[in-house]
Amino acid sequence: MHDSSPLDTDRHSVQKGNLMRYNCLKFIAIFGCAALLSACAVSRSVVHIEQSETIENPAEGPEVRIVEVNDNRQFEIDPRSPDIPSLANDEIDDASVTERAYGRKRNTYGMALGDVLTPEGKTVSDAIAKTVENAFQAAGYRVLTPEDADYANAADVKVDVTEFWSWFEPGFWQVTVHNRSDISLSAEEITSSSPIRVTEHYKENMQMVLDSDWQASAIKALQEVRKKITDALLALPKP
């Protein structure tokens, strides 16, 4: 029979102590990250959705002006499904909040948490207006602003936003961020009596969702909307 020496006993005690300290530090680190992520998920995130792509205004071409963008989205406090725009309280009746809201964060069980808004002074309608502007420019139209000399004579473009919303779908191995858009634009001198309606459902899988992911998903969705509007305009006879 072999008896353990005092040196072996001391070495075993040190190793056991180191393992306990390692496990303790690991637990603290994991708990801290979880608490941080939970706090971020519960709180409101302010994330801009300005598009990075720039399309030059053509030097020549039919001239249009975007005269209005109507945000017709309907918000609910406790919707039956996450694809319906929602806020946590009666802010659904506050246009200064709803016009900036474009997403809602959720936990792994699908429970609604914090929301995602554009910065103050920026709205979802602003992002849609820029998308429509880029779409017309890509199709060969000149988009004028009030500072342009011929602004008053340009064809009016009116935009209605029925849907533009991002939401979170939990999964076992990964999560999915969705964005669904439903946008109509009318310009009687260009589209005649039939408005152009574009719908888009963009989704992307990832391991976890950070503020930058909400931003990227919304921007990519807007890029797809822009392409569809451009294609629809190119299919029309030029005025």
Give me the domains of the chain, ranges plus CATH numbers: 43-234 (3.40.50)
Q: Is 175 helix (H, G, I), strand (E, B) or coil?
A: strand
Assess whether pLDDT exceeds 90 at residue 40: no
- Residue identified by tokens 């011929």 is 150
Name the phi and psi angles at 26, rounded to 5: -65, -45
φ/ψ bin of 30: left (φ > 0), alpha (ψ from -120 to 50), beta (otherwise): alpha
Confidence of residue 98 (pLDDT cuts 50, 70, 90): very high
164: which strand partners? 181
For 133-187, the pLDDT digits (tens) are 999 999 999 999 999 999 999 999 999 999 999 998 877 778 889 999 999 999 9
CA separation for the pair 196, 26 (Å, rounded): 56
